[in-house]
A and B are shown apart, each in its own frame.
Chain A
Amino acid sequence: MKMNRRDFLKLTGTGTILGLAGLGLFERVTEEAIAAQFSKDAKALNAKRWAMIVDLRKFKTEEDYRRIINACHSVHNVPDFGNPKDEIKWLWTDTYEHSFPGQEHEFMPEWLEKKPIPLLCNHCANPPCVRVCPVKATFKSPDGITQQDYHRCIGCRFCMAACPYGARSFNWRDPRPFIKKTNNEFPTRTKGVVEKCNFCTERLAKGLKPACVEESNGALIFGDLMDPDSEVRQVLRKDFTIRRKAELGTQPSVFYIIGGSENV
């Protein structure tokens, strides 16, 4: 078949218009499909600034600590290297002296000297780690959580130098062989990136409280600091709380109730 120039142009023109229209339609449909996929779960828990209160009075036995740490580390595929050099931790404990340096004194009660204090990322409202990251791999989400993007992190570790709480860990080597049991619901990490507690942002999105909070039997209280009626605000109104190194201006979102003789 022979085609003259006029027919050729007509056909090509119509084809192009149809093609573009089809492409536009396709893009719109897929965009909607993708948006639907990522739209918020109706059950999702929302807040303006998530916060946690650690009520030390309610930590009685070693089991109380072990339970919350295991819950966190197993759900988030935190590896166990068995040595302090490669160590990665999201939730751990240390003594009062090391958790609140400068606050200790030689006449402290014995129970306080020995009592393990649960430690985690403070999800600061004014976080130095976010300020220093050169690629915005660590950032604040609108709910106040200090997030870490494992896929953007270049592994410069500026954030680790900046964090006054030692809350950040680096994958010095491939962590995967050191994960006891992989949870397929949460990503594992690769070597060369920084990670830390994420306040269980993935669970909040599904309407669940953080794993540690769920396992704490009420020793960890979680809620919206900006909601005057939230449980955290009720407790903060009632009890005396302290924050780690608050004098640095980081505005930590994790509060501690140390308590008194009821700890004995």
Chain B
Amino acid sequence: MFEKALEGSKRYWTWLIILAAISGIGTLYYLKQFQFGLGLTGLSRDVSWGLYIGQFTFLVGVAASAVMVVLPYYLHNYKVFGRITILGEFLAIPSVIMCMLFIFVDMGQPTRILNVLLHPTPRSVLFWDSVVLGGYLFLNLLVGWTVLHAEKKEIAPPKWIKPFIYLSIIWAPSIHTVTAFIYAGLPGRHFWLTAIMAARFLASAFSSGPALLIILAMIIRRYTKFDPGKEAIQALGKIVTYFMLTNVFFMCLELFTAFYSGIPGHQHPFKYLFTGLEGHGRLVPLMWTSAILAIFSLILLLNPATRKNERTLAVASAAVFISLWIEKGFGLIIGGFVPNPFEKVFEYWPTAPETIITIGVWATGFLILTILYKIATTVKQEVGESAHH
């Protein structure tokens, strides 16, 4: 099937070359970071995780969201999603790969990465995260490829794949739950020490992921001969609506507990993020952008007219994606570190090399996504054509 990725229009190749070039620039800057150390980033003793770990956290959600199309199709026989399950699975693959790359570029001693396997430590959440991420990558590769291959041959998928499909459905929430446990189990970080962290992670995953899928489905319909289907996009729109609503609700629960309890330590990160603390408020504009986009997206999503209109649905989906990217990909991590364990404010902002490396990883992810989607859409389109004849 891979041969489908090797033939394409001029636009396809130009797009791949652009992504490869950005990825290459990112790699060069990474080599510089490898040589100099993580001091090349804006990270410090006080804010020791930043943009990289934020991207990792956000992308675990995007990866997990594949279950939102796989589950209705396989467990509820929701046929409409039959056309897009492969898009969900093939989105999960580059997402997990980006997660792994972001962890890798964040490591101080990347050459020692195999220590995680040489000295497996089950008491560490990071150990389990590597297990669930690796497993999820494998499951999506296996299921996506096998089912698509069967479709190409115009035969039913082999029976042995079914258990793997069901396993992938259970596995998806596990990757984001374990990722939430990285944060929610640390005693000294008020912003993270919350029992609903995993629930929040899942809510934002199941809204941001399908939101991206809506946009990708629309792009595919426009630039390929494969149509994921209006009905599928509308169903995704409803999923995004419910989970975005849940997401905002969970955020309000956090605010209630922090502010009604009156415990200063629980309030400080929220104050730092949304109003600034002790004269420091670098993230304030960004966090308000996230909050306003969340409200704006909900207005568009909750109103049936604007949700059913694909143009406004696309705008709402972009708003959801950007809002949650800011919230999970940035604010959540920084809020855990500011103020620091001494209740002092020491701020963080990513440097230019750090940003370029981040963009490079995203470009690598989109490069893989493009290739996988090219294969999937070509197969789907060819099968569709032969069915017509």
Contact = CB atoms under 8 A, between A and B. Distances in A.
B: contact size bracket? 35 or more
A157 B108 contact: yes
Given A99-B342, A136-B119, A192 B45 contact: no
Contacts of A101: 265, 341-343
A21 interface: no
A152 B121 CA distance: 13
Contacts of B229: none
Contact of B346 (A84, A137, A153, A160): A84
A85 B47 CA distance: 9
A94 interface: yes
A134 B346 contact: no
Given A161-B186, A166-B46, A173 B126 contact: no
A159 B197 CA distance: 20
A226 interface: no
B105 to A, nearest CB: 11
B125 interface: yes
Interface in B328-382: 336-337, 340-344, 346
A135 B187 contact: no
B37 A161 contact: no
Interface in B81-118: 103, 106-110, 112-113, 115-116, 118
A231 to B, nearest CB: 29
Nearest to B118: A135
A164 interface: yes
A116 interface: no
Contacts of B340: 166
Contacts of B116: 134-135, 154
* A-side interface mostly: loop
B342 A156 contact: no
Given A156-B126, A161-B189, A192 B107 contact: yes
A158 B107 CA distance: 10
* B-side interface mostly: loop
A211 to B, nearest CB: 22
Nearest to B124: A134
A40 to B, nearest CB: 25
A135 B125 contact: no
B223 interface: no
Nearest to A249: B187
B187 A248 contact: yes
Nearest to B341: A166
6 closest Cβ pairs, A-B complex: A155-B108, A164-B188, A192-B108, A172-B39, A191-B37, A173-B39
23 contacts: A86-B39, A86-B44, A87-B44, A102-B264, A128-B187, A135-B112, A157-B49, A158-B126, A160-B45, A161-B48, A161-B183, A161-B336, A162-B187, A162-B188, A164-B187, A164-B188, A166-B45, A172-B39, A172-B44, A191-B37, A194-B108, A245-B188, A248-B187
Interface of A: 84-88, 94, 97-99, 101-102, 128, 131-137, 152-158, 160-166, 169-174, 190-194, 245, 248-250
